[in-house]
Structure 1
């Protein structure tokens, strides 16, 4: 490790004056250094997460490598963790125990977050024997940016290694292992801090804690239901749960006259005498903002993304006032091209790179996209060569009301969406209007588009995917010969849902299947008696009920299935009746009463 650190430190100053992308020093920080640390700690702390950064598109003012205990945090933006901090001037490196302050600063403000950090730092130093004498409570990173300086103020204790007096390998390793021994005492202290139980520390504000977000199976959600149930508010609250200032939220009201993608993505205008100009929309600016927040580094055709970034929620309000298949056509096609592999993400462009060559004043377009400044050079170059695609952290949520003023959905739209009957998944409860008894869980963006056998082995209740495959085969046997038959995409998305929700037992697995029926299968079914094979005594719904009574035997007649998207207000598991049983019965009765039925209320 000594030689590696010396190479990084000695090469840092000259490296930061050169192009960031694929620079050898950046690669040493991002790949070689983390691998070395993992070798050191793999036996003693196998669950710890090692992350590092030399910058995101451009050089960081202060490069770092962090070691995270998942019991405390999985992000450098919150919690307490050991970290190596490289001085901005390349004169040395600190091994520090530090407090993540990014999330607290967003929710509390910088002043209160710093005050809280001082209190917690003092409490940790006084609570762990030997920590106070292990190193210094103050550090100087020679930082010139606000982020770099924030590391200085959030340091708990640190040791400094100057470039000209780098210790030998044994001392470097011993210092790290000693700090990890101290770090083993932090989880219990952190729990006390979160619960405000430490009597010797005066917390003036409630601490911000890391929330375990649930990755959605799809980044495109349809929230259907009657007006006034809180669909739009739900989307904004999801954004705020990740970032208090709601800068990761954008509301776009859909207009009835939208009939092509340019209504969302913008268009080239040739009016005036200054040549072609691209008219930028809020939708496009928000996509670029999400890209700026998520990138770790940029290569020729792929982007390495941060795994601790927040989801960006875009709400298309009253989405079906205009025909979705027309104005949203580009997104519906491109969403199927998203691909993740080894921390890298790729996707076909929503806005083709050819657009940039048609515009007379490219710098004006760059400014319109809020990409001015040297720190955005690499991202702008990437867009210029590859176009602008769907960011991995973007979630599009469309609110939907079904009445005489709105349009229906084709199966192309439904197959690409995660449909939530809002009244069923998040029911209004008048009796608890002032004091809610339940709350929505915090949702995040997908992290995969394809399931492989290795991913399934992590699911305790269905390690080889055979249970889920047999479940879908039994459903598809009844749908065969109808327009509602399911294909490979349905199986892949069922398995993605299983991986996302990680059911631990048979009841939880059947809960995932139940919600899959509600979000992906039943929304596709609509029509009259002929289409639904209604002969007066039997129809498609009767056949599905017969199959599901067996396939969902653990939850079909009980109220014991866990709610995957809600919980009790105290965080306990909320149990509910089988959703699909109720919905199928409702659709069947609607067919009987009206001669026609659909999923949509």
Structure 2
């Protein structure tokens, strides 16, 4: 009997060799113990021993981060390594951290049986053999020729998830790090652009003692000509900062003078030191040509063999090492040291498997402050911010909305004292953006508003990788569409800026006109490291939200309160708090702006989610509350991040999105509203729950134990989307009792 499709496809998308080795280690332990659940520690040891044995045989294997030898991998590092494949296989594997056990889900275990287990073992061994064979065949020559041959035609294809992106960002950096000459002091990074294909793709080796970014400092980089006629191994210098600070003409002069000074210091044996490097005829690549100090040219179709390529690279690395050691050594000439010390470093992207651990530390910080929020609320808050940097926290007064923002920010090192957390109370008389952004006084001078001051501070070079949080307290005391309209519009103008040999940034249109102080406020948009959160109370003193606002935000509701939740003692939350003060803003910044950015790599999830929304839209059209592409994209991004980080089951994540992005749009008194609510109730309960939708039963406080459980904040048993079902029950009851219902009034 063939393996079920869900199991046969588990190795289709590989995470190095880790998923394959994990499955083999688990099968071995299952056979040895003859139990359905086995010791997670014993599986970890089998996993580790495989890689140790392969290395000792002299075979090339995937390396543990921060180590060249698997024997040196610590227990904590091994745990972090396994988090990624365990999360990726969570649909078939079950891990009980309290019992420290692992196994297949019971249904999967029964479905496999001994025959299926043997088939899965054979499949894993075949995949591992093919993977290792490919790993041993690494050829730098082959990869360079492949890029030169395929990049031009690849630019006509979809960008997201393209195999050349994986080659530049993962495969080549991993392979180069395995070379003996590239030790842990070096960072290897490649790029084909972000969001769009780069004109000049690159692969860089950076000494972390002087720079971790290609924006400044000196480094080694392979640069590919735009027409893919050649690739250049170059000793280079950062071009971004000089041009930003001095302008292009003076910046070029500075770079040429700096090149002459560096050539006097360095041997750069067998490298060309002229200016005949040719990357582009015009445009961005000209900056790279000017910034190049020396180079070796490899023509397409005539790239030398691996031995020569690696020898050339090792020669340049040796010159680079000697240069860096001369720079960091004390000397009378401090000019170079000063430049290196003062320039900001590029943000290091997080690995997906690190997110769960960071969120755990945030939750621990919140609990230590004596606050307790419902299960998965922190994960939901994080995913909502990640999908869109504007979130609304709604609910009755005193439920901890403002406190959540403050504590979440504090856990990431953002406080009032360092200016990374700002609370702005909204006033009822605000009628235009001037109260937030600023205005010109009677003398004609621009007076910045509180939000503008944060934006200016956040975009300073030394701050641009720190997260900044702005909490608009009781933001619906005034009409949001009036004073917040400019920001809502600018949020929609965000786009990727293709920058010079660097990780790209999100930029938006300018918020202000052209104030006199252009140096401070010129071109000021919403910085990518600023996150906006509004708190709202819904009562007779406040204003409702328009669909324009709801489309651009996720709405988290705080209405289900358990007063018997008490502060936890220190012994209940063991372990020292993690220091997340140095965590950069990429933890929260969106990775996608348009669905095309994520579609290729998450196509199945996007299609499943969109099909759900199509069915829901059919119901919503009856009351003109259906959603458009903006809401679809935001929900898909939320679901993708959740799947990447392994935070919640897919149904639970969609439940949050149904509650936050769909239900707030519904209000009215017509019978059509009742039909829509009933239709959505059927969606929320699910066809397999075995529960009949009885509206009277759902609304009756006394007669229904189901309703009483929902009112107490418990999840209804067997319901597909319990959060949404509970909210819909309240909205239906409000419609029956008052003749009018709204998400905000229930």
| TM-score category of the 2 structures, normalised to the smaller one | 0.5 to 0.7
Name the CA shift for 1:540/1:279 in 2 (closer, same or farther; >3 Å): same
Q: Given that residues 225 and 422 in structure 1 are in contact (C-alpha distance below 8 angstroms), is that contact kept between their aligned partners in structure 2?
A: yes
Q: Given that residues 686 and 720 in structure 2 are in contact (C-alpha distance below 8 angstroms), is that contact kept between their aligned partners in structure 1?
A: no
Q: Determine whether 1:401 maps to 2:537.
A: yes
- Matching residue of 2:406: 236
Q: Given that residues 505 and 528 in structure 2 are in contact (C-alpha distance below 8 angstroms), is that contact kept between their aligned partners in structure 1?
A: no
* Count of residue pairs brought into register by the alignment: 383
Secondary structure of the residue that 2:685 maps to in structure 1? helix
The structure with the greater share of residues assigned to helix is 2
Q: Determine whether 1:544 maps to 2:544.
A: no
Question: 2:739 & 2:454 partners in 1: Cα distance?
Answer: 44
Structure 1 residue 525, shift from structure 2 partner: 0.8
Give the alignment of 1:88-487 within 5 angstroms. 140=329, 142=334, 148=341, 216-243=386-413, 245-246=415-416, 247-271=419-443, 276-292=444-460, 309-340=465-496, 343-352=504-513, 355-356=514-515, 359=516, 362=517, 380=520, 384=522, 387-423=523-559, 430-435=564-569, 444-452=588-596, 455-459=598-602, 463=604, 465-487=606-628
Structure 1 residue 36, shift from structure 2 partner: 12
Name the CA shift for 1:464/1:420 in 2 (closer, same or farther; >3 Å): closer
Q: Given that residues 474 and 534 in structure 2 are in contact (C-alpha distance below 8 angstroms), is that contact kept between their aligned partners in structure 1?
A: yes
Name the CA shift for 1:223/1:517 in 2 (closer, same or farther; >3 Å): same
| TM-score, normalization by structure 1 | 0.54
Q: Given that residues 493 and 508 in structure 2 are in contact (C-alpha distance below 8 angstroms), is that contact kept between their aligned partners in structure 1?
A: yes
Structure 1 residue 321, shift from structure 2 partner: 0.9
Structure 1 residue 470, shift from structure 2 partner: 1.0
Name the CA shift for 1:37/1:599 in 2 (closer, same or farther; >3 Å): closer
Deviation sequence 1:512-567 (CA, Å, 0-9, x none): 211111111111111213451x4xxxx3211111233338969999x9xxxxxxxx
Secondary structure of the residue that 1:430 maps to in structure 2? coil
- Matching residue of 1:176: none
Structure 1 residue 264, shift from structure 2 partner: 0.7
Question: 1:410 & 1:241 partners in 2: Cα distance?
Answer: 33
Question: 1:236 & 1:145 partners in 2: Cα distance?
Answer: 36
Q: Given that residues 468 and 529 in structure 2 are in contact (C-alpha distance below 8 angstroms), is that contact kept between their aligned partners in structure 1?
A: yes
Give unmatched runs, 5+ long, in structure 2.
1-166, 180-186, 190-203, 222-235, 239-257, 268-323, 345-356, 362-377, 499-503, 694-705, 707-718
- Shifted more, 584-593 versus 316-325: the winner is 584-593
Give unmatched runs, 5+ long, in structure 1.
1-33, 67-83, 94-134, 152-190, 196-210, 296-305, 367-376, 560-574
| TM-score, normalization by structure 2 | 0.44
Structure 1 residue 472, shift from structure 2 partner: 0.5
* 1:494 corresponds to which of 635, 645, 655: 635
Secondary structure of the residue that 2:731 maps to in structure 1? helix
Q: Given that residues 605 and 640 in structure 2 are in contact (C-alpha distance below 8 angstroms), is that contact kept between their aligned partners in structure 1?
A: no
Structure 1 residue 236, shift from structure 2 partner: 1.6
Give the alignment of 1:512-551 within 5 angstroms. 512-530=653-671, 532=673, 534=674, 539-550=675-686
Question: 2:611 & 2:177 partners in 1: Cα distance?
Answer: 41
The structure with the greater share of residues assigned to strand is 1
Structure 1 residue 599, shift from structure 2 partner: 1.2
Q: Given that residues 510 and 555 in structure 1 are in contact (C-alpha distance below 8 angstroms), is that contact kept between their aligned partners in structure 2?
A: no
Name the CA shift for 1:49/1:55 in 2 (closer, same or farther; >3 Å): closer
Q: Which protein shows a greater Rg?
A: 2
